[in-house]
């Protein structure tokens, strides 16, 4: 019964990733690009390449994203890799599909771009919330944060890395396309990230996971083996459950999905997640 529930949950997560990827590709092709705006992250790089070289957009997206996808598989794990592959594949197919569908949004450019940014943000929120990814910049930031943690043991937010990456994308849009495209795209970024932060509670920030369990050994072992993470262990007492242990660990948003899988495999485990702005040492 428990395994069937887990499988059903996994199927549901893939369905939500597919819907989110289709929303994102619809926004990019039918609203953003016709209104002189581009997506951000590696998708933005692909759009710039397509506009400058004339190469098919779907092909550019695939070429830009594949190296990051391979790195995600190797460094961040198969579970994340398969979901990222599913999301990026549907996104790429969606770009090709929506190019053939006539759609026109007759309104002001800024209103259209704001609306398109909101749809893009909603689609990306669904993908991120269910453990997927269609943007290489997030994989790049996640890998950097993971490497820093492995070397120093310090947890850092992905926020500054993502802002720096996207600043380079908009500078490229300013230089290679035009000023309007860069400014419109910046509006897309502001609207989309606002929507994403609303539904994912600042996915780029550090997450504190508090786990209450009667069987801490298995959870601690899985955290170490799967994520190379340690945790603080405290004795605690439940009014009904009695003696148990409270574990506290810090992870980033993409690692959080793996923590959820670890917790789901350990029956009788209760956990909460909160967003941490900064860790002082």
CATH code for the domain in which residue 267 is found? 3.30.70.120
Instruction: Write down the pLDDT at residue 210.
Output: 93
* 179 and 248, same domain (yes or no): no
Same domain? 94 vs 174: yes
Assign 22 a pLDDT band (cuts: 50, 70, 90).
very high
DSSP letters spanning the chain: -HHHHHHHHHHHHHHHHHHHHHHHHHIIIIIIGGGT----HHHHHHHHHHHHH---HHHHHHHHHHHHHHHHHHHH-HHHHHHHHHHHHHHHHHHHHHTTS-----S-HHHHHHHHHHHHHHHHHHHHHTT----HHHHHHHHHHHHHHHHH-----SHHHHHHHHHHHHHHHHHHT-HHHHHHHHHHHHHHHHHHHHHHT-TTSEEEEEEEES-HHHHHHHHHHHH----EEEEEEETTTEEEEEEEEEE-HHHHHHHHHHHHHSTT-EEEEEEES----
Residues 210 and 98 in one domain: no
What is the structure's pLDDT at 2? 57
Q: How far apart are CA 16 and CA 129, in angstroms?
A: 9
In terms of domains, do 133 and 237 share one? no
Cβ atoms of residues 189 and 260 within 8 Å: no
- The per-residue pLDDT for range 45-70, each reduced to its tens digit, is 999 999 889 888 889 998 999 888 88
- pLDDT tens for each residue of 121-180: 999 999 988 888 888 888 888 888 888 877 777 777 787 888 888 899 989 988 888 888
Last residue of some domain: 168, 200, 232?
200
Query: Does any domain span residue 104?
Result: yes
**Is residue 18 domain-shared with residue 132, that is, in the same domain?**
yes
Q: Are residues 55 and 135 in the same domain?
A: yes
Instruction: Tell me the C-alpha distance between 276 and 137, whole Å.
Output: 21
176 shares its domain with 211:
no
Question: For residue 36, what pLDDT band results from cuts at 50, 70 and 90?
Answer: confident
Same domain, yes or no: 215 and 122: no
Q: Are residues 81 and 125 in the same domain?
A: yes
214 and 115 part of one domain: no
Distance CA 123, CA 90 (A): 12
Q: What is the pLDDT of residue 236?
A: 87
Confidence (pTM): 0.83
**């509006």: which residue's tokens?**
187
Which domain does 217 fall in, by range?
206-276
Domain identity same for 187 and 134:
yes
Distance, in Å, from the CA atom of 129 to the CA atom of 25, rounded to the nearest integer, reads 18
Asked if residue 281 belongs to a domain, the reply is no
Q: In the β-sheet with 270-276, what is the strand arrangement from edge to edge? A: 232-238, 242-251, 206-213, 270-276
In a domain, 190, yes or no: yes
* Same domain, residue pair 249 and 127: no
Query: Has residue 269 been placed in a domain?
Result: yes
pLDDT at 278 over 80: no
Residue 16 lies in a domain: yes
Which one of 137, 171, 200 terminates a domain? 200
Last residue in a domain, options 200, 218, 250: 200
pLDDT of 201-247, one tens digit each?
777 788 899 999 888 888 888 888 888 888 889 998 887 778 888 99
How many domains does the chain contain in total? 2
């Amino acid at each position: 019964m428990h395994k069937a529930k887990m499988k059903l949950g996994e199927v549901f997560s893939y369905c939500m990733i597919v819907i989110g990827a289709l929303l994102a590709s619809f926004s990019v092709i039918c609203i953003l690009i016709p209104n002189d705006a581009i997506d951000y992250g590696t998708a933005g790089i692909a759009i710039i390449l397509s506009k400058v070289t004339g190469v098919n957009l779907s092909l550019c997206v695939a070429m830009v994203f594949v190296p990051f996808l391979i790195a995600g598989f190797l460094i961040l794990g198969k579970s994340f890799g398969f979901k990222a592959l599913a999301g990026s594949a549907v996104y790429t197919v969606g770009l090709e599909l929506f190019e053939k569908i006539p759609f026109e949004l007759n309104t002001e450019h800024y209103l259209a771009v704001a609306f398109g940014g909101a749809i893009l943000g909603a689609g990306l929120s669904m993908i991120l919330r269910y453990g997927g990814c269609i943007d290489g910049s997030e994989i790049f930031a996640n890998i950097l944060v993971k490497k820093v943690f492995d070397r120093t043991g310090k947890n850092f937010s992905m926020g500054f890395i993502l802002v720096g990456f996207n600043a380079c994308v908009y500078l490229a849009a300013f230089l290679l396309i035009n000023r309007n495209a860069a400014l419109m795209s910046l509006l897309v970024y502001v609207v989309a990230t606002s929507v994403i932060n609303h539904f994912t509670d600042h996915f780029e920030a550090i997450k504190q996971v508090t786990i209450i369990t009667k069987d801490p050994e298995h959870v601690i072992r899985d955290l170490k083996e799967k994520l190379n993470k340690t945790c603080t262990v405290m004795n605690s007492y439940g009014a009904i459950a009695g003696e148990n242990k409270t574990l506290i660990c810090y992870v980033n948003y993409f690692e959080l999905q793996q923590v959820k899988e670890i917790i789901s495999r350990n029956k009788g485990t209760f956990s909460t997640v909160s967003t941490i702005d900064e860790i002082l040492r």
